[in-house]
Amino acid sequence: MIFLKAALYLRVSTEEQASGGHSIQAQQQELIKYCSAFDYDIYNFYIDAGYSASTMNRPALKKLLGDCKKYDIALVWRLDRLSRDMADLMKIIEIFTTYNIIFKSKTESFDTSTASGKLMLNMLGSFAEFERASISERIQLAHKKILNEGKWRGGRPPLGYELTQDKTLKINKNEAQIIRKIFDLSANKNIGTRSIAIHLNNLGYLTRNKKAFSSSSIVRILKNPTYYGEMVHKRQQYIKKDGKKKVVYSDNYTTYKGLYEPIISKEIFLKSEININRRKLNRGTSSKIPNLLSGLIFCGDCKEYMLRNTRKDGEVFFTCKSYKHYGKCTHHYISENIIMKEIQRSIQNLEESESTVYEMNKKLIKKKDHKLYIIENEISTIQESIHSISKRKDKLFELIEKEIITEKDFIERKKKLSKKNEEKNKLLKELQSKLDNIQNYQENKDFIPYIKSFTKDFHTLSFNSKKKILNIIIERIEIFHNDRPYGRKKIHIYYKI
């Protein structure tokens, strides 16, 4: 007799929900009984604890969809455990349909293989989405009520404040000194956010997370009305893109008078805002032109990425990320045109010495063959270990079905095995990635055609073709600081040959 394999998906969104009738343990118990009643083999549990159903960006859900070839049935306790968003639900069902997977809910009756079943699923999905919208509205009303009372609506208070027992804000004297210094430098001395971050870091100040200040963290402080006594509502908004939530800051937000002592005056806040807006008019912007060198160009001194920007006159240039965000390292300012000219000159030299390139290839391939042998052995050992863990999991399911172990023991042992399995799979993925890189290298070992294509046709090629050639030829480009004033930066190009 052939038993169908069932993948069990469980989810809770909050600790309050987990403590009630929808807890992970309660869902798990019900689904195990359901599988036993219908003679389903439990393939695996996919658990998202503390994740909202309004997005598809959930680790266990991603794994569930990634393992579609390994099971026959996807089982949930209730439909809203899978998704509360109608568009996301339809995407998930479409993936299940592609792999001929039956989708079932323990508490709701529908069959996705029939037209009436799909209609029922659509209706249930719409109700789940409506319920999510209703919950969101109730939360917003509760937030407004709290804010109208002058209390903090929830979450961690901003730097400079701490929360009292009656949910009002209280000044933290040590942190408030930092806030006053930031606004003084911005409003009274007209200093930019990057320079303020550098100044604070040089004085040894740290953020609440014990990290160095950055330009972006200073901007968030300078734009926060909480510091002059008004609390913000609906400034942070969420937009969905490719199933993921992204935070955006809106200029259309509401403020509420708080029952707490402000750290600065509103006049200082507005003065700082005027200075920030003036500086915006005088600076360049991030370049909107597609970046040929993305992922290739680094600071040679601190090894951080180089950031790409555009001057007002249209010149595209790179600067060190550490310098721009944290004031560390030096700016390493260099024009994109200079880098591209150096790449062309360097690659032309390579083309003129084909024999050198072939010799370099031969030595490197021999070295990589040895690495290939070592990594393949490591992968084989880890795969055996993963297979052993899988067998132990199967044994565990037998023990729970025969009631030899308690549900508590089952969950604890399953958790330990899952953790081990996750660690082994992570290591396996890393080794597989290394193996792929070596194999790809051996497949592309003849670089001469690409080098010739670069020197002969580069200016006539499309952006994607240019980028492909650069990524095949170049490993990384490093820009080094020159101690001489106005001296030309040193450019080191490392090739994949």
List the catalytic residues: 13
d(CA 87, CA 241): 12
| Chain CA centroid to CA 220, Å | 20
| Chain CA centroid to CA 255, Å | 30
C-beta of residue 356 within 8 angstroms of C-beta of residue 373: no
d(CA 214, CA 323): 10
Q: Which residues of 140-156 are buried (b: 16+ CB within 10 A; e: fewer)?
A: eeebeebbeebbbbeee
- DSSP classification of residue 297: E
Bridge partner list, 320 = 306
Which amino acid, one-letter code, is at 321?
A: K
- Chain length of the chain: 497
Bridge partner list, 480 = 490
d(CA 77, CA 8): 9
* Both tokens assigned to 292: 């040929």
For residue 334, give every residue at least 6 positions away whose Cβ sits within 8 Å of its Cβ, in sequence order, or none.
306, 317, 318, 479, 489, 491
Q: How many helices (H) and strands (E) does the chain have?
A: 16, 17
Nearest by Cα to 234 from 217, 264, 256: 256
d(CA 97, CA 91): 10
Q: Kind of pairing, strands 102-105 and 41-49? A: unpaired
Name the region of 150 (left: φ>0; alpha: ψ -120 to 50; beta: rest).
left
Would you tell me the crossing angle of helices 86-98 and 59-66 to the nearest 10 degrees? 30
d(CA 484, CA 13): 58
For residue 356, give every residue at least 6 positions away whose Cβ sits within 8 Å of its Cβ, in sequence order, or none.
350
Nearest by Cα to 291 from 305, 304, 308: 308
